[in-house]
Structure 1
Amino acid sequence: MASETPSISPWSIASPLAGGAIHAVGSGLFHTMIPLRLVADGYGAGTIGLVVGAEGAGFLIGCIGSTRLIRSVGEVRAYAALSAISAVLIMAWGFSPHLAILMLIQAALGFANAGQAVVIESWMNAMVSNANRGRVLTLYVLVVGLFYGLGQLLATDIDPGGFPLLMIAASLYTIALVPVTAVWVGEPQLHVDVGIRIFRAFRTSPTGALACLLTGLISSTFASIGPLYGLDLGFGQSQIVIMMAATQLGALFLQFPLGYLSDRLDRRAMMFWLSLVLAALCGAMIFLHIGMPFWIFLVAFSVFGGLTEIFYPLGVAHANDKADPKEFVTLSSNLLLIWAFGGTIGPALISTGVEPFGAEIFFYYAIALSLLFAGFTLWRRHRQPKAKVREQFVAYPQTSPQVYEWAPHTPAGDDIDPPTANPDPEEKKA
């Protein structure tokens, strides 16, 4: 006899949200301290780029292949296994392994993080009613982003080269499985199989695909270069950590007002102007120096974080403007892969220039990418007409392809119920 599905309640939604929040705290703490720990261990910028890029590669593979593991053993067991593996991998940093081993550790962590996000988001899909999907997705984005920033702030007084950092991060990754394994929702089935259709995504919306790539190339690269930039300026650890947290929080809160504007303006025109503003801001940041008040750095990096991250959800929304509604999930999932690819190659590419030219080379890199994207966007805007039906902006998290299955897809300005890839069984019978 099939088991009866429990009724949806706020507590059932709170459980996976709590698991995702605790995991985000550990992730924010650990990832902010990776560059500083590598510097403390005597590694250079090139090594930091390779280690960060390796995690991006693991995440990319996890987005594609983790669903097979989850289906084979079940969601609860898969999440517990991935959490335990993540904790052990973090603790392995305490043995100061060889660079090749560090890269393998980070690649495995990237795979595990993608798999854990798949589990959390598939369970949210099973527990959220159609009418509440938009509100719950917004709540999910806010919770994950805020708690990631909280994890960054926890790093202000922790020795980056010491064992307590690893112990705290590994403990948080382990504790994250408690609320997830304590909730029962009848083992929801995964529905997203990420078919690799990268070239189709570019054909559907070259501007949207390049916007996602731009975010990966810049934001993920800054995660590895940002602490080195702070060290070059002469900042202490607490200032570097607060600066990185400001970037994260700016990325979180600027998405919503900019997304609101994007529903009312031409998206390609908006991305064109935002890329010019980003290039100008990066140009100004080259001239920041240690003698300036610290609040200027916080404002600058908050705006920088908001501008770099907004291109991803704008790119997804713009691509969906061009696509058939049946392609939303597949297209959006491949745009996530494009973002992850940028996050893989960006850190490895630009880190090679840090030692000869200094960490500020990152801003020249970001200026070049922003201007190239602005030029391409301007060209496409004059070549292609504006979409007649437009997707409503959604602040998509860069977590796993599973989120696109339950994210609402609503034409901007239309008061209709969003379709879902998982209609209720009773609706199917009808």
Structure 2
Amino acid sequence: MKVVFTRDFLALILSVAVVGLGSGATLPLTALALTQAGYGTDVVGLLTAAQAGGGLLVVPIAGWVAARFGGRQTIAGAVLVVAVATAAMQLTSNLFVWAVLRMACGAALMLLFTIGEAWVNQLADDATRGRVVAIYATTFTLFQMSGPILVSQIADFGGGRFLLCGAIFLLALPTLATIRAAPHVESEQAHDSWRHVLPRMPAIVVGTMFFALFDTIALSLLPLYAMAHGIATEVAVLFASALLLGDTTMQFPIGWLADRLGRERVHLGCAAVVVVLLPLLPWAVSSPWLCWPLLVVLGAAAGAIYTLSLVACGERFRGAALVSASSLAGASWSAASFGGPLVAGALMKSVGNESLIVLLLVCALAFGAAVLWERRRDLQTAS
């Protein structure tokens, strides 16, 4: 394995960790503040949708922005926007203003993650890409998971909790300043817009949407699913933790496996694991000796579908095309995380709780079909 853990990579990972902590704290803090103010889940959902909408709005211009202003400047600007918008929520309780501020955060975070993922792919080479991207994804997930813990400690800081969260984002700026080589996006490649990139990445889009759906359902609806099967509330909430444990701890080993055996083969293998394990969950849910290992492995395989989708972006695209591909992956995440739980919740209410498993299974099968279709298309093109 080549040495890829340069100072640039370590500084970028540290910056991502800070942003993960800040974003992981801001969303639950917003929900908490709205609930304490007497608003219901409908308003919380609308504010969450506003952030997702901001991310979707910036997708068509992400590549142009990165080429026009440079990767380092765009990331630093995005960090500043998120910090200021988060801190500004401390100064008003007007819902319309909050919605605008959340949209600004969503747009800035979309730019930040788009360029950050492209940057990581540029720092890696084809022999180590799986492991490098896995470290990036694992670091972000670990610190994002720490966000709610931070919220539990600052929940009573009514006069300054949003200011504190905004200040957290600013901690990323000093580490960004130490990076020697900025992400390379050639302005003459700006014509590689998302319209040209999208036809070349159907499996990446479907894989990202699958994991976004899986992630949001795990955090919001899976505990309800477990409770419907007679699991006690305090145990049911741990189902999501078991999935996240598998996602967090297994990404590097799976990335190493992808580097050794080939990304596409491992990608399909992860889809197969998800397709096999999901139908077992209704029977395993009441058997702790079977349920907890199943959840950990399921979380690892589902998380790897997303991680290896990022790896596929780095394999296929360069320059502005890579930035556009990363932004489309981010847009797919936003769209699925916004609409997925609404669809799943409606199906659970009207059809039954097992429709949750069916929905995830259909999405996993769609991803596997997309990978197989891409393989067939590439073989036909080569011949």
Name the TM-score, length of structure 1 as normaliser: 0.63
- Distance in 1, matches of 2:359 and 2:86, equals 35
- Distance in 2, matches of 1:362 and 1:352, equals 12
- Distance in 1, matches of 2:28 and 2:18, equals 16
Is 1:212 matched with 2:208?
Answer: yes
Contact 2:270 2:302 in 1 (8 A): no
Give the residue type in structure 2 aligned to 1:197.
R
Contact 1:198 1:334 in 2 (8 A): no
Pick aligned residue for 1:55 from 51, 58, 81: 51
Report how far residue 112 of structure 1 moved: 0.9
Give the residue type in structure 2 aligned to 1:96.
S
- State the Cα deviation string for residues 220-273 of structure 1 (Å, max 9, x = none): 45455578889998868xx96x76555444223233445537749575465244
- Distance in 2, matches of 1:9 and 1:346, equals 32
- Distance in 1, matches of 2:290 and 2:11, equals 39
CA shift in 2, pair 1:326/1:68, >3 Å: closer
> Match of 2:300?
306
Structure with higher helix content: 2
Contact 2:89 2:98 in 1 (8 A): yes
- The percent of aligned pairs where both chains have the same amino acid is 19
Give the residue type in structure 1 aligned to 2:193.
G
Is 1:27 matched with 2:18?
Answer: no
RMSD: 5.0
Written as runs of structure 1 = structure 2, the 5 A alignment for 1:22-421 is: 22-75=18-71, 77-94=73-90, 95-98=92-95, 100-118=96-114, 120=116, 136-159=132-155, 162-181=158-177, 183=178, 185=180, 189-191=184-186, 193=190, 195-197=193-195, 200-201=198-199, 209-223=205-219, 246-258=242-254, 260=257, 263=262, 268=268, 271-281=271-281, 283=282, 302-314=296-308, 330=321, 333-334=324-325, 337=328, 340-348=331-339, 350-351=341-342, 354=345, 364-371=355-362, 373-374=364-365, 377=368
Give the residue type in structure 2 aligned to 1:278.
L
- Distance in 1, matches of 2:76 and 2:312, equals 37
Contact 1:55 1:110 in 2 (8 A): yes
Q: What secondary structure does 2:194 align onto?
A: coil
- Distance in 1, matches of 2:221 and 2:30, equals 11
> Match of 1:404?
none
Contact 1:56 1:344 in 2 (8 A): yes
Q: What secondary structure does 2:89 align onto?
A: helix
Contact 1:266 1:386 in 2 (8 A): no
Contact 1:224 1:347 in 2 (8 A): no
The unaligned stretches of length 5 or more in structure 1 are: 1-7, 390-430
> Match of 1:15?
11
Give the residue type in structure 2 aligned to 1:84.
L
Contact 2:185 2:319 in 1 (8 A): no
- State the Cα deviation string for residues 57-103 of structure 1 (Å, max 9, x = none): 322343442454455455555444322321222233333332x4433
Report how far residue 357 of structure 1 moved: 6.5
The unaligned stretches of length 5 or more in structure 2 are: none
CA shift in 2, pair 1:33/1:352, >3 Å: farther
- State the Cα deviation string for residues 159-181 of structure 1 (Å, max 9, x = none): 28945542332121112112213
Contact 1:25 1:149 in 2 (8 A): yes
Report how far residue 337 of structure 1 moved: 1.8
- Distance in 1, matches of 2:126 and 2:364, equals 36
Contact 1:40 1:160 in 2 (8 A): no
